Structure formats: structure tokens, C-alpha cells
Amino acid sequence: MAATPHRIVIENCAIATVDAHDTEYASGHIVVTGNRIESLGPGPAPRDLPDVARRVDGGGHLATPGLVNTHHHFYQWLTRGLAQNAGLFDWLVALYPTWARIDEPMVHEAARASLAMMARGGVTTAMDHHYVFPRGCGDLLGAEIRAARELGVRFHAARGSMDLGTSDGGLPPDFAVEPTEDALAATEEAIDTHHDPSPDAMLRIAVAPCSPFSVSTRLLREAAALARRKGVRLHTHGSETREEEHFCKERFGMGPTDYFESTDWLGDDVWMAHCVHMNDADIAAFARTGTGVAHCPSSNARLAAGTAPVPALLRAGVPVGLGVDGTASNESGELHTELRNTLLVHRLAGGEKAMDVRRALRLGTHGGARVLGRAGETGSLEPGKLADLVLWKLDGLGHSTIADPVAALVLGPPAPVTLSLVDGRPVVEHGRLLTADEDDIARRARDQSRRLARIAAG
């Protein structure tokens, strides 16, 4: 006989469900059984529930769905704070030679640090886009997957690639790119080895050539065909800067969105990072095809790329989630601060009605789940969904005088995480990771960062 799964009961907290009706409870309860949300609602949980392993008093807290990150480059944890005053292309050219020296131990520690930083700040589903695979570097994707398993975070690993070096007219140096065939074969192998299509998957693989200026047209087309043959999602960078737009117009005679459409890269199984420089026709093409966007406001500001037209994308019905982006262009490495940054940049660009706190929370939760193809399973608090949720402490110094808990979370300072559940399992309690030692991660990441700097300096 199968054992009855133990229940976790959370009660006496405010709840923002981020369901289709934005249902909220000023004081409510959530019952978790195994890896699923069994029930939730206003007031205390029923007293007569059997098999309650743990009862959490959420007084002074807000419960939300766990945050979903939709764009990142974990390895960049080792190269933060460099090329501080450069735009995208100069920043890339400055960093490629160092990035081309990464290896498996470096990427493992960078992944642990990136994941720890996000998990501690309420991320329950992480994503990484890894596209630098130096010859003889070891199993970099495997190192990231190992780190996500160790930390207990739900993980979408995008096997990236670059095959267009400077001698073929691309931006990256030739020594930083892979042969096209090798990139495709390794991507297929990653899917076959790791991809889990099941509804409660802790690990999924996506196909992710890096960008129009670092990838050949052939690799883009064949990657799209591979992803569709295997039934996995597609991810890339798109329309990030004016320079990229000029590159596409000069080389292909069209802007990035038209180029993506011509290579089978628009569709409801595709999401793209940035999408800053989009005209009305580009936005309409994304809406028509269901192509999603990973909005990365801090990285776009750090690299002076511009402000993505997120209010217009949302009005058109385009799926939009939030992304940290790599920590070489967003040193904070946190997603919860992106809720606030999103609201601020869109108010600056589009006025006081351009973004509000509830839409910002939706982007960071349900919106992210939607672009990763997981909206049926996570991204909102509803009976039957996966138990990926966060209990934010809002009765402390930083938040206790803000009556609206969602405003406190989005507009206030980063709120401490009292409890974070991923797949029903506690990953963070009282602001500390349960699954790893933060000081150990910090020390090891620093050692690998110094090792990389030493090797890169020759």
C-alpha cells in the first residue's frame, strides 16, 4: 500500500495566487500534499486534515507562486564587474577571450552560486542559456544540471551554441565557436540524455543558438528543425541592440524579427531574450505566432540597450516573463529585484499607467512559466498545480508600514524569504539555503573566478 503523502499547511498569511482572476486573500491558507497544492482559500485551514507533517504560521507574510527566471548565463558569475562602461558588442568582445577559457569545475561553481543567489531570493524555476563550449572543457551542461539537482531548484537548461566566428563575419573570435555539426550533435545528445517531458519535470532541455551575429543561418534552421523533431522548446537572444539590427539589415537585408521568421524561429515553442528594438510589425508577428519574450530590464539598462516595449507586447497578447540575464551584465543576480526594476523602467518610458505592481508580479511568476511552456504546472497558486511557492516576510523593518502586501513585495526593498518550496520540498528557510552552504559556495566561486582570471591572463 502506498504511503499517504504528508501534508504541509501554511496559514494566516496574505496570498496572491496570480491565477486568471488575480484572486487574493488578505488572510488565507494553503495545503500542500506531496509535490502538489491540494487546496487553498480564505481563513484558516480545516482543523481535521489528517497526516499534517508541518503547520506553518504565515502571520505577517505574503505567499506567492515561486519566481520563474527565463534568461540567464550561469558561467558569467565568474566574470562580474568587468567592462563596466561598455555597450553589448564592445562588452562581448572584451569578455569572449576570458569566457573561451572556462572549464567544468568553473561552470559547476558558477552554477551553484547563480542558483543559490536566485533560490535565496524566491526563484523556484531557474533557466540557463549556455553557449560557450571551448574544446576539451568537459561536460559543462552536466555540471549545471548537477548543481541544480544539488540545490533542489526546478531547471530548464538551454543548450546554446555559436558557430559564426569573425573570419565568417560573426562577432565572436574563431577560437570561441564550435563547428556547426558538433553543436547540433551535442544539442541532440543533451536532449536525449536529460530532457524530461513529464508534467512535474525538474529538468527540461531547450535548443538555444546564441544570437544572429554569432550563429550561422544553417545552424539556426537546423536547430529549429531539431527542436521540433524532439518536441523541445527553442530559445535565443533577439532584437537586443541597434547594432544587432544593423548587422541583420546589412547581412540579410532585413531586421532581426523578419530574419527569425525566415529561419522558422517564430512560434509558440520559442522564447527570446530582450526584444528591445521591436516595431509594430515585429510585435504583431510575435503575437500572431505566440512567440514569447524574456524581459531583462537590469541587463538592458547596464548595457544601455534600451527599454523593451513590454506594455505594447502585453497589449498585443505576447507571452512575457522576466530574466536576470548573465551576471556579467547584471551583477545582482537576483530576480525579485527585477519586479521593481520592471515597474520603474516602464513608468519612466511610458508613464504611470505603463506598469503596476500586480502586473510586475505576474510577469515574474505566471508570465515566466508561460514562456517556458509550464503555465499548466507552475507559476500560479491553484489546486492541482506543483507546490512551487514562496512565503515572503513583510512584517519587518523594510515592509511593515506598507498595507498592500503586493506593493510591499514589488516596491519595497528585497523581502526576506521565510520559506520557499520547490516541488513541495523546502529549499530556503528564514533567508538561508537548506540545500547548500552559502559561505562554501561563495568561497569556491571566488577561487574559480580567480583561477579563470589567471588562466585568461596567460
Interacting residues with Zn ion (CB under 5 A): 273, 325
Give, in order, the Cα–Cα distances in Å from 271 to each of 1, 22, 180, 324, 349. 43, 24, 22, 15, 24
Report yes or no: 300 and 293 within 8 Å, Cβ to Cβ: no
Q: Between 126 and 390, name the residue whose CB sits nearer to Zn ion.
A: 126
Least gap, CB of 159 to Zn ion (angstroms): 15
Q: Between 210 and 386, name the residue whose CB sits nearer to Zn ion.
A: 210
Q: Between 178 and 377, name the residue whose CB sits nearer to Zn ion.
A: 178
Least gap, CB of 17 to Zn ion (angstroms): 30
Phi, psi of 67 (to 5 degrees): -75, 150
CA-closest candidate to residue 369, choices 56, 14, 18, 42: 18
Least gap, CB of 426 to Zn ion (angstroms): 30
Q: Between 81 and 136, name the residue whose CB sits nearer to Zn ion.
A: 81
Least gap, CB of 446 to Zn ion (angstroms): 23
Amino acid in the structure at residue 99? W
Q: Between 66 and 323, name the residue whose CB sits nearer to Zn ion.
A: 323
| N-terminal to C-terminal alpha carbon distance within the chain | 62
Report yes or no: 17 and 11 within 8 Å, Cβ to Cβ: no
Q: Between 273 and 406, name the residue whose CB sits nearer to Zn ion.
A: 273
Least gap, CB of 90 to Zn ion (angstroms): 16
Least gap, CB of 210 to Zn ion (angstroms): 8
Least gap, CB of 98 to Zn ion (angstroms): 16
Least gap, CB of 393 to Zn ion (angstroms): 31
Q: Between 325 and 388, name the residue whose CB sits nearer to Zn ion.
A: 325
Q: Between 88 and 205, name the residue whose CB sits nearer to Zn ion.
A: 88
Q: What residues are paired with 10 via a beta bridge?
A: 30, 56
Sole residue written with cell 540579410: 252
